[in-house]
Structure formats: C-alpha cells, structure tokens
Amino acid sequence: MTIHDRLRATTQEIDEIMYPVRPLALPPAGAPARLRGARAPRALPSWVMPFAAAAAIVAVAVSLVAVRALPGAPQRGTSPSAAPPAAALAGLPRYAVLLKPQGGGPWVTVMVQGPTQASVLESLPTQTLTYAVLADTRTGKTLTTVRPPSGYTFTGVTGAGNGRAFVLDATQRKLAGGRPPTHIWFELTPRGTPRRLPAPVLSGYVDGIAVSPDGATLAVSYLPGALSGSVITLATYSLGTGRLLRTWTGPKRPYFVAGGDASVRLSWLADGRTLAYQGVADFRTVYLLDTTKPGDTLPGTSRAVFTTPVNATYSAGEPLVASDGQAVWLAVGLRPLSVSTYSTATGKLLHVMYSARMLASVLWAESATTAIAAVYDRAGAPARGTEIGVVTQGKFTPLHLPLAPQGIANSYGFSTIAF
Amino acid sequence: MNPQTEAQASPSGATEQVTELYAAHATGLVRLAMLVLAEQAAAEDVVQDAFLGLYRRWHALSDPGKALAYLRSSVLNGCRDALRKQSRRPPAALLAPDAESAEARVLLGEEHREVIRALRRLPGRQREAVILRYCLALPEGEVASAMNVSRGTVKSASHRGLAALARLLKEDQ
C-alpha cells in the first residue's frame, strides 16, 4: 500500500467513525458575539479549593438567585402535525424536559458517543445560555420554558420517569480562577413551576445525575476538585431537606485517563433503592449499587450485571438498565445499528428491537419490551435526521417533541432530555 | 443577493448565511480538524470557533466567496492552538490505547492511528499541506488559500511532508 493509499484509507476511516456534527451555536441576534471556545483557566492549587468553594457558596447565598418562567409561561407551544397513536403511548412518560440553547430551537444531546471529554466538562457552563423546555410527549406541545437563574446555565436534566418530577442542574457560568463550578438544583413539576431545591450547593464537575422514582432523592456523580487526578464521587441527597444521605468514591485512580475521557450514566431502578451506573470503573460494564447497604466505595459495594460484548462494534449510546432491572438496552453496530435488549441475569441477547441507519441512543426504558430512544435516520424511512420515539419489537413510533431541525448532537455523555 | 450587504443590513442575514455555510461545510471541516487532532469533540470545538469567528467578521469579509478559505484557515489555526494544548495533556482520544480506553468503542484501527501519529510528528506546514492536498484531495490553489502561502510553497511542503511521512511510517514498523 502506498503512502497515498494509507492517507486516503485513514481519511475514509475517519469518515466512517464520525458522528453527525453538532448544530452551530451562534449567539442570539443583538447579543455581542463571543467565541465559544474560551476555556476556563487551569485549576488552582488544591489548597485554594476549600476557600474557593466557600466563596462560591457565599456568593450563591447572597445572590438570591431565582428561577423564573419566561413571561407568559406556560407558553403556547408548537403544534405537531400529527400526534402519535394513543395506544403506542400507553404507560409511557407523559412529560419530557429538553434543554435548549437561548435563541435556538430545542435540540437534544443524548448519550450518543458516551465518553465525557474533560474539556467538555470544563467548557460546558461557558457555552450558550441554556433554557429548559417542558413538553407533553403525547401532543408534542411546549408547556413551559424556564430560564436559568442569573449567572447560571442549565447543563443537565433528569426525570423520575413517571412525570412526578424533573431535576435541573444549574451550573455557574463564569468560572473564576479555574475553580470548579457551583451547581444548584431546581425541581420542575408537570405544573410547570420551577422550585429551587434546598440542596445541595455542590462545587465540582458533575457528569451524571438521576432523580429517584419517588422524586425524593437525587444521585449525583461528580469530581469534587480539579478535573485531573480527581476520583469520581457518587452522592445521594434528600430533595426534601437537602441533606447529604450517602457518598461512595470510585476506584482510586484518576477519573480522566486514556485521552481524558470517561463517562457515567446514572439511573434508578423502580425499587427506589438501587442505582444503576456505568462508566465509573469500566465503561463497558453496568453496575448496580444497593444504596441501603453499608460501604463507601463503589467497587466494594456494587455488582456487575452486564458487560458489553467485546465483539460488539460499539458505536452509540451507553447501555441503559430498564427500571425493572431485568434487561439492559443497548445500541450496537455501525450502519445499520441495532437497538437490542440483553438479560441482566445472563448477559445474553434477548431481542434485536430495532435498527437505525446510523446511530441511536436509548433514553428511557421500563422493561425489556418498550423504550424511548433517539434514532438518526431510521431504516426503511426517508432520511429525517434525528427522531425520538417509542421502540417496541421491530417498530418505531415517533414522538413529536419540539426538536430543532438539527435534532441531535454529540454530547459526549451529557443528557439534555429526560422523561 | 450580496451576502455582505445583507449582513450589514440585517444581523439575521449573517446568521442565515453562516448557518448555510455550516450546513454545507461543517462535516468536511471537522474531518480536516480530526485528521490533525484525532478527536471529534476537539475538532468540533475548533470548527465551531471558526464559524463564530466568521460570523463576527462577516461584515468585514471583502469577498463572501472566500468564506470557505477563511474557514479552512481558521480551522488550521485553531488546530495549531489545540495541538499546543494537547501536547500538555494525555493522548488524544483516537490515539489512546485500546486497553481500558473509554474510547475503544469508536476507534480508528491501529494502522490509521499510526498514520495520524506520524502526521502529528511532521512540521506544521508540511502536515497541513499533506492533509489538505492528499487526505482531502484539494487542488493546490485551494490549499494555498487555506494555508495563506504560495502554490510553490504548497508543492514543496507537501512533497517534503509526504517523504517525511513515509520515513516515519517505515520507522514505526
């Protein structure tokens, strides 16, 4: 093979592994344009962190930040051209919350590629101001649009999966002196009124959140200090009182290794006491953590229930444990890509549920039979870009959620849609 | 319609035209940046910054027909900056070892990573000339515009770069 051939082959290979490029985020008309790539400075020495964290907390306390709905909320939303059949939606979450950049249409960044880039964690809060949109999954209508408090932007959302509660992660936007950002939390109920949650004011780099099915407990995975060299921490908080309930720490090694990437996907099982996570110790393996059992390390208190088959050409979203704990949903393969279910008891393939042309990511799953997924260019249909819909055996029923035309974008681990 | 005039008259004109350019060329520019940076997230950052830079300077662009060359040039500049930053960090995602790498799910094969590693060892001008000329198969004139050099420089840089690349790849074997 000549050197020319090798260069062409490498270029072709890059074409093959590239995901759709994320939408362009231009500043809103009239606003001063600012380069998005402005990075937070490097972290300060570790001894500064406690002072920095204290200062951030004080700053938050005195700023009396308040979340407010946009004027006129709940707003009239976009009316979808055709609502999905009611039968296909039976038993599915009635509401979804999507994050959207200011001045743009809601777009979705889901667990498409998986790994979280350290640089993304650093730059996320400095990017475009992000709003939260509460939508009705049956009609596709926007019910409310919520803007973050001054000085903050929404960087993540999690839902209880049953319409009871959504929790929004509001992240401090300006990171002075390389400090980790401060996070404050808001609850958004289907009534559409956001409420500042009593806890926790957390300083660190958050890369996974999950609210329990009863809406009472928030699980957060985060790096408490600098990105480099920190050990991942998982914590649970009472949303009623703000009290820290439990903490577990990850393996005693730097979280960001091998290229600066890692990822955590957190979800609660329906029992309300078991947390499923993936990406802390081994990105291919899904673990279950019984939050009622003693122990304060993730490796010591978790059990592995599923490992992505080594021969799977793994191209899309993270595995997601169905809330009944019986099955794992996973998208594997490249062109076409299969959305499949695996047994958590045996690790064996149960069913190939659906195929998409390019990529897919499972967003919500209650059992081995039904899930909500984002797919890009569904097979057998005209190219429509990204769609979110209900996946059952061999069938995809689109939900007409208010997505921008670009729809989906790479997120490297961040979920900006929740049910 | 003259994009320049429209942009001056209406900010949304710039928005629409830059967005159209993005729709048409973002993927190709990300490919260019990935060949240098070996990491899609970083490549997209560079491309987004290039488009934001274009958006900010749209009214000052003397010839909108040169927007693509401007973007390529911005992307190359952004890649140089990113490479400098990467050199102080662990290896880029696509170059990370397979074992226990969080990126193993979507990786280049080893033979392609060798090529990218070798490209990164080339002097900047040679690397850019080789990528634009031989990976992206751009005509010499467009390469020269993107690199802001003469065609003669493109010829010599790409020739030398190719020879150096062959040598580096042979050394690695």
Q: Is the pLDDT of residue A62 over 70?
A: no
pLDDT in tens, A368-415: 998 988 776 665 555 556 678 898 887 888 887 876 544 444 443 446
* pLDDT at res. B2: 29
Distance from CA of A312 to the nearest CA of B (A): 9
Residues of chain A neighbouring B15 (CB-CB closer than 8 A): 26, 29
Amino acid A214 reads D
- Look at residues B102, B65, B30 and name the one whose alpha carbon lies nearest to residue A118: B102
Nearest to B42 among A119, A258, A315 (CB): A119
Instruction: Give domain A98-310+404-418's CATH number out of 1.10.3470, 2.40.50, 2.60.40, 2.120.10.
Output: 2.120.10
B144 and B82 within one domain: no
Q: Chain A, 228-267: which have a CB under 8 Å from a chain B CB?
A: 256-263
Q: Is the pLDDT of residue B103 over 60?
A: no
Q: CA–CA separation, B37 vs B40, rounded Å? A: 8
Q: Do B100 and A282 touch (CB under 8 A)?
A: yes
Q: Do A10 and B112 touch (CB under 8 A)?
A: yes
* pLDDT at res. B100: 24
B160 and B86 within one domain: no
3-class SS at A12? helix
Chain B contact for A292 (CB, 8 A cutoff): no
Q: CA–CA separation, A319 vs A308, rounded Å? A: 8
Amino acid B123 reads P
B93 and B53 within one domain: yes
* pLDDT at res. A72: 28
B85 and B13 within one domain: yes
Nearest to B109 among A13, A25, A279 (CB): A13
Please check whether residue A129 is in contact with residue A164, taking contact to mean a CB–CB distance below 8 angstroms. Answer: no
Residue of B nearest to A283 (CA): B102
Distance from CA of A87 to the nearest CA of B (A): 36
Q: Is the pLDDT of residue B57 over 90?
A: no
B129 and B93 within one domain: no
Which are the contacts of B16, defined by CB distance < 8 A and separation ≥ 6? none
C-alpha distances (whole Å) from B31 to each of A14, A16, A18, A29, B90 are: 7, 10, 8, 29, 21
Domain extent for B117: 108-173
| Residue B20: pLDDT band with limits 50, 70, 90 | confident
C-alpha distances (whole Å) from B127 to each of A33, A312, B130 are: 32, 34, 5
Nearest to A18 among B31, B53, B134 (CB): B31
Which tokens in the block code for residue A95?
């509401």
Nearest to A21 among B12, B26, B89 (CB): B26
Q: Chain A, 110-169: which have a CB under 8 Å from a chain B CB?
A: 113-115, 117, 119-120, 123
* pLDDT at res. B1: 29
Distance from CA of B17 to the nearest CA of A (A): 12
* pLDDT at res. B158: 94
Chain B contact for A103 (CB, 8 A cutoff): no
The CATH number of the domain holding residue B57 is 1.10.1740
Tally of residues, chain B: 173
Please check whether residue B131 is in contact with residue B32, taking contact to mean a CB–CB distance below 8 angstroms. Answer: yes
A vs B, Cβ pairs < 8 A, gives 155
Q: CA–CA separation, A117 vs A80, rounded Å? A: 35
Instruction: Give me the half-sphere count of Cα atoms (radius 13 Å) on the Cβ side of residue B50.
Output: 31
How much of chain A, in percent, has pLDDT values that exceed 90? Answer: 14
Residue of B nearest to A17 (CA): B106
Residues B129, B131, B136, B142, Cα dihedral to 10° = -20
DSSP letter at A176 equals G
Q: What sign does the CA torsion over A24, A354, A133, A207 have?
A: negative
Mean pLDDT confidence for A232-255: 83
* pLDDT at res. A280: 58
Please check whether residue A361 is in contact with residue A331, taking contact to mean a CB–CB distance below 8 angstroms. Answer: yes
Residue of B nearest to A10 (CA): B112
* pLDDT at res. A384: 58
3-class SS at A383? coil
Among the residue ranges A48-57, A72-81, A350-359, the one predicted with the least confidence is: A72-81
Nearest to B134 among A4, A25, A261 (CB): A4
Q: Do B45 and A123 touch (CB under 8 A)?
A: yes
> CB burial class (10 A; 0-12, 13-18, 19+) of residue A144?
buried
Mean pLDDT of chain A: 71
Chain B contact for A24 (CB, 8 A cutoff): yes
Q: Do A261 and B91 touch (CB under 8 A)?
A: no
Q: Do B48 and A412 touch (CB under 8 A)?
A: no
Residue of A nearest to B51 (CA): A24
Mean pLDDT confidence for A179-192: 82
Distance from CA of A95 to the nearest CA of B (A): 30
Which are the contacts of A30, defined by CB distance < 8 A and separation ≥ 6? B11
- Return phi, psi of residue A320, to 5°: -125, 125
Q: CA–CA separation, A37 vs A321, rounded Å? A: 35
Q: Chain A, 377-416: which have a CB under 8 Å from a chain B CB?
A: 410, 412
Q: Do A258 and B136 touch (CB under 8 A)?
A: no
Chain B contact for A9 (CB, 8 A cutoff): yes
- 3-class SS letters over chain B: CCHHHHHHHCHHHHHHHHHHHHHHHHHHHHHHHHHHHCCHHHHHHHHHHHHHHHHHCHHHCCCHHHHHHHHHHHHHHHHHHHHHHHCCCCCCHHHCCCCCCCCHHHCCCHHHHHHHHHHHHCCHHHHHHHHHHHHCCCCHHHHHHHHCCCHHHHHHHHHHHHHHHHHHHHHHC
Q: CA–CA separation, A153 vs A140, rounded Å? A: 24
Distance from CA of A37 to the nearest CA of B (A): 6
Chain B contact for A3 (CB, 8 A cutoff): yes
DSSP letter at A346 equals T
Q: Do A259 and B39 touch (CB under 8 A)?
A: yes
B135 and B96 within one domain: no
The CATH number of the domain holding residue B125 is 1.10.10.10
C-alpha distances (whole Å) from A209 to each of A156, A157, A160, A236, B125 are: 8, 7, 11, 10, 44
B100 and B23 within one domain: yes
B147 and B83 within one domain: no
Residue ranges covered by each domain of chain A: 98-310+404-418
| Residue A48: pLDDT band with limits 50, 70, 90 | very low
Q: Do B106 and A257 touch (CB under 8 A)?
A: no
B70 and B115 within one domain: no
Looking at per-residue confidence, does B67 or B10 come out higher?
Answer: B67
Distance from CA of B60 to the nearest CA of A (A): 14
Please check whether residue A232 is in contact with residue A118, taking contact to mean a CB–CB distance below 8 angstroms. Answer: no
Domains identified in chain B, total number:
2
Amino acid B49 reads D
Q: Do A36 and B91 touch (CB under 8 A)?
A: no
How much of chain A, in percent, has pLDDT values that exceed 70? Answer: 59
* pLDDT at res. A84: 65
B124 and B98 within one domain: no
* Strand ranges across the sheet with A205-211: A205-211, A217-223, A233-238, A244-249
**Domain boundary pick from B105, B123, B158:** B105
Q: Do A25 and B48 touch (CB under 8 A)?
A: yes
Please check whether residue A275 is in contact with residue A268, taking contact to mean a CB–CB distance below 8 angstroms. Answer: yes
| Buried residues in A331-364 as b, exposed as e (16+ CB within 10 A) | bbbeeebbbbbbebeeeeebeebbbbbbbbbbbb
Percent helix, percent strand, percent coil in chain A, to nearest 5: 15, 40, 50
B160 and B149 within one domain: yes
Please check whether residue A402 is in contact with residue A140, taking contact to mean a CB–CB distance below 8 angstroms. Answer: yes
Chain B contact for A32 (CB, 8 A cutoff): no
| Residue B126: pLDDT band with limits 50, 70, 90 | very high
| Beta pairing partners, A43 | none
Distance from CA of A254 to the nearest CA of B (A): 12
B95 and B84 within one domain: yes
DSSP letter at A235 equals E
Q: Is the pLDDT of residue B78 over 60?
A: yes
Q: How many CB atoms lie within 10 A of CB B112?
A: 22
